[in-house]
Amino acid sequence: MDTHETPRGMKRRTLLGCSAAFVAAQSLAIGTARANAYPSDTINYIVAFGVGGGSDIVARTMAKVIDEKKLIPVKMLVENRPGGSGAVGYSYISSRKGNPYYLGGVGVSFFTTPLLGKMPLSYKDFTPLAAIARSPYILAVLADSKIKSIDDLKSAKGLTIGSAGAVSDPALLSHLLNKQLGSSIKVVPYDGEGEVMAAVLGKHLDLLFGNPNEILEQVNAGKMRALAVTSAERMGSLPQVPSFEELGHDIVHTQLRGIIMPKDVPAEAVSYWEGVMKTVAESPEWRSQYVDRFNEIPLFLDSKQFGEEIVATSQRYETLMRELGLIK
């Protein structure tokens, strides 16, 4: 696989020169003796959301690291196709069936929009490639809150927790929390993570599940207290905060920064990108420009492991959405 990542300059130029001819015969050329010819054309990375959001930052930082380290012999274009809660972007990727020149990132709506039954697609219409970071959620309260630990949640009455959108990771986690603790914390949906944070700071909500970056900022400023994290282990940046699992609660759910391709792409393309993504995930550039900067957890999952996580995550959402009465 290493040979794919570092093609010689000569070959690159030749390949680029005749890329036009390749477009027509792409799917034929790949998978034959000329496996090393892939990729010969610009790679399109589709972000199903707007510029500046979480998925966009992952995509652009990854593309930057790939470019800096010259991991692929062609260009990678990051393109935003927002709309329909991700439906527009994901439909676009899946319509490129068998075409290994289209990539995309996985967000929460990758699972939830198809489950709503409004998009004739599901995770089965995509090929998982790899996951390159993991973002846990942190349950937090205001620094002057009476809630000091997870146990305090059991006895407290009338607590509220925020969620960005009706179906989201924080909503999913809140329902798991209620099940595990026997509590009755009410989930109040807002339009974005920022609004949830504002409502907590303004004492209109009691709790939130936030991503490490935004919670750490508030914890360091002395405004909030972190109660527990949803990763299996404690986080390096918050060593004093326990994980739900070590407290004896079966709540392990993190957001994977994963990459997918359309269905039916050649196996060679999948192993090619597994190689590229492994190099990205393990590079100091990715660590410093993304993982450490956003206080996430370093990780690499290959196509198979990531595919298993996708199935498990989709099932978790399906259960939640059934309980909420969103699907029958």
Partner 1 sequence: MLESWHLLAEGLVAASQPSVLAAIMVGAIIGLFIGALPGLGPTAGVAILLPVAVSFDGTAAIAALGAVYYGAQYGGAVTAILLGIPGDASATMTVIDGHKLARNGKAGAALGLSIAASFIGGLIGLILLTAFATTIAQAAIAFGPIEMTALMIFSLSLVSVLGGRDLNKAMMSLFAGLFIGTIGLDPMVGLPRFDFGEVRLFDGIEFSIIAVGLFGLAEMYATPPSIGKPQEKNRFRFRELLPDVRGTLQCWRELGSGSLIGFFIGILPGAGATAATMISYAFAKRTSKHPERFGNGAMEGVAAPEAANNSAAYGNMIPMFALGIPGSGTTAVLMGGLLMIGLQPGPMLFQTQSEFVWTIFGSFYIGNLALVAITIVLTPVLATCAFVRPSYLFPAVIAIIVFGIFGINNAMFEVALVIGFGVLGYLMMKLDYPPVPLVLGMILGPILERGIRRTLVASDGNVAVFFQSPIALVIILITVVLLVSPWLLKNRAGKEHQMDEPQAKKIG
Residues interacting with partner 1, by CB under 8 A?
Answer: 50-53, 56-57, 60-61, 78, 80-85, 87-88, 91, 112-113, 116, 118-119, 158, 160, 165-167, 186-192, 194-195, 197-199, 201-205, 213-214, 217-218, 220-221, 223, 293-294, 324, 326
Contact 218, 140 (CB under 8 A): yes
Nearer to partner 1, 119 or 176 (CB): 119
Give me the amino acid identity at 45. Y
> How many CB atoms are closer than 10 A to CB 33?
7
Strands 43-47, 76-80: pairing is: parallel
Q: How far is the CB of 280 from partner 1 (least distance, A)?
A: 17
Question: Closest separation between CB of residue 86 and partner 1, Å?
Answer: 9
Nearer to partner 1, 181 or 199 (CB): 199
CB of 202 to partner 1, least distance (A): 3
Query: Using CA atoms, how far apart are residues 210 and 137, in angstroms rounded to an integer?
Result: 5
Check: CB of residue 135 under 8 Å from CB of residue 253. Answer: no
> What Å distances lie between residue 73 and 67, 77, 260, 265, CA to CA?
9, 13, 20, 19
Nearer to partner 1, 215 or 270 (CB): 215
To partner 1, the closest distance from the beta carbon of 281 in angstroms equals 20
Number of C-beta neighbours around residue 304 at 10 A = 12
Examine residue 39 and say whether the peptide bond preceding it is cis (omega within 30 degrees of 0): yes
- Within 10 Å of residue 242's Cβ, how many Cβ atoms? 16
Question: Phi then psi for 77, rounded to 5 degrees?
Answer: -100, 125
Cβ proximity to partner 1: between 80 and 279 the closer is 80
| Nearby residues of 36 by Cβ (< 8 Å), 6 or more positions away | 3, 4, 7
In the complex with partner 1, the residue whose CB is nearer, 22 or 92, is 92
Residue 305 Cβ, how far from partner 1 at the closest point, in Å? Answer: 28
Minimum CB distance to partner 1 smaller for 150 or for 205: 205
Quote the radius of gyration of the chain (alpha carbons, Å).
Answer: 21
CB 135 within 8 A of CB 82: no
Cβ proximity to partner 1: between 245 and 292 the closer is: 292
Query: 210 — phi, psi (to 5°)?
Result: -115, 165
Q: Residue 59 and residue 144: Cα distance in Å, rounded? A: 38
Q: How far is the CB of 283 from partner 1 (least distance, A)?
A: 17
* Shortest distance in whole angstroms from residue 33 CB to partner 1: 38
Strand partners, 209: 139
**Is the dihedral angle over the CA atoms 243, 53, 294, 148 positive or is it negative?**
negative
Least distance between partner 1 and beta carbon 52 (Å) = 2
Q: What is the DSSP letter of 248?
A: T
Residue 249 CB, nearest approach to partner 1 (Å): 24
Q: Which is nearer to partner 1, 40 or 135 (CB)?
A: 135
Decide whether 205 or 265 has the Cβ nearer to partner 1: 205
